[in-house]
Chain A
Amino acid sequence: MVATAFSSLVPMETEESQIARGLRRRDPDLLDALIEQYQHRLLRYLLHLTGNRAVAEDLFQETWLRVLEKGHQYDGRNRFVTWLMSIGHNVAIDYLRKKNPRSLDELQDPEDGAPFEPPATGPSPFDMALAQQQHEMFDAALGQVPAIFREVLVLRFQEQMKLEEIAQLIHIPVATVKTRLYRGVMALRPALTGGAL
């Protein structure tokens, strides 16, 4: 969407450099287009990180405000989505630290963890109910996974990010990403091998 909006102006420029240029100018049309394009991915990431929809929506807005204010720092050399998620990561970390400075892992209030929206597809009411039950169970299991592992799982499997990108986003080595991925998957083992999923 963004690429098509700007491609007529500078055909040789990459999408990332066009975004970087627009962010430096604080172009409101570009920002509108970026919000439209990345709305679901950012919200999904924040929701998994915080486990609370209302908080995730607040952080969603805060993230975009930071994108506006710090837009000049984006140089267009990396994918925009990686930079956006790293802003979201920092916003979430700031929120979680303010909420409870002890540890990122201890911060999720189980009562706050609203279930995620069920998928909208299913050939029959029975299949739909089964799928919904499976997702609710999976969400509950995912909510029990410590936040630092859950974050890596979400970035890897939902956002389809490369290990290198995740490492860059969270500011950790690639080896640590792999370790967190392993530990995250293993933390889900009881739920996944329980037969319900």
Chain B
Amino acid sequence: MTNREHERALDLIAERGLEGINSSETAWLESHLAACAECSEYAALTESTGRLLRSVAVTASPALVMTTQARLRARAMYLQERRSRTVLIAISFCIGAMSSALSAWLWWRFGGWVAERVGLSSAIVEPGILLFLLLPAIVIAGLLLAFPHPVFEGSLMLASAREHEGEKR
């Protein structure tokens, strides 16, 4: 008997349970098993393993199922809320960006109108408008640099430190 025949027999033994093998393959396997003690033993062991594994009863407790279902519902709700928040933030950002662009354009036109009325040159008016538009951001940036404690150390840095501490543990 060749190695190829043994390999074919092992393949057919593996497949005959669920995949199913045709009648000619079954006949060939039966004749091979009758002549080959090694493959015949493997076939018997496969059958015993399957029988024993199928008879093992493992059941999930009702408490585990209920806990899992409750956790999943809570998580699904959290994910839903997070998604809604993300959508709201995206919409707010879009509206804010559009509003800022529109405001900038209107202020620019207004500056041009004032310059024309008063008779100032554009070299003075244009930087002035830019400064006016950027002034809130510059003031906030200055305040953050001057007083970092309540904004950064109070939230972001503290959270980062806690996370670092958690990783260490």
Measured CB to CB, the residues of A under 8 A from B are: 26, 28, 31-32, 35-36, 39-40, 42-44, 47, 57, 60-61, 64-65, 68-69, 116-120, 131, 134-135, 138-139, 142, 153-154, 156-158, 160-163, 178, 181-182, 184-186, 188-189, 192-193, 197
Contacts and interface: CB of A to CB of B under 8 A. Distances in A.
Interface in B57-109: 57-60, 64-65, 67-69, 71-73, 75-76, 79-80
Residue of B48, B60, B75, B80 contacting most chain A CB atoms (<10 Å) = B60
Interface stretch (B10-18, B144-152, B161-169): B10-18
Given A61-B67, A163-B19, A31 B72 contact: yes
Contact of A181 (B14, B58, B59, B76): B14
B60 A39 contact: yes
Nearest to B19: A162
Contact of A28 (B55, B60, B72): B72
B76 A28 contact: yes
Chain B interface size band reads: 20 to 34
A196 to B, nearest CB: 11
B42 A186 contact: yes
B73 A28 contact: yes
B157 interface: no
A65 B19 CA distance: 32
A157 B72 contact: no
Pairs of residues from A and B, 10 with the lowest C-beta to C-beta distance, nearest first:
A157-B53, A44-B58, A39-B60, A157-B50, A43-B60, A26-B76, A138-B52, A119-B57, A158-B53, A61-B68
A156 B60 CA distance: 20
B122 interface: no
A179 B50 CA distance: 16
A69 B79 contact: yes
Interface in B1-54: 10-11, 14-15, 17-19, 42, 45-46, 48-50, 52-54
A129 B60 CA distance: 23
15 contacts: A28-B73, A35-B68, A35-B69, A36-B65, A39-B60, A42-B60, A43-B64, A68-B75, A117-B58, A118-B57, A119-B56, A135-B56, A157-B49, A162-B18, A185-B46
B64 A60 contact: yes
A116 to B, nearest CB: 5
A58 B79 CA distance: 21
B49 A153 contact: yes
Given A65-B75, A68-B75, A178-B14, 19 more contacts: A31-B72, A40-B59, A44-B56, A57-B64, A60-B64, A65-B72, A68-B76, A68-B79, A116-B58, A117-B59, A119-B55, A153-B53, A156-B17, A158-B54, A160-B18, A163-B14, A182-B10, A182-B42, A192-B49
A139 B80 CA distance: 43
Contacts of B18: 156, 160-163
Contacts of A162: 18-19
A35 B10 contact: no
Contacts of A192: 45, 48-49
Nearest to B80: A26
B42 to A, nearest CB: 7
Contacts of B64: 39, 43, 57, 60-61
Nearest to A154: B53
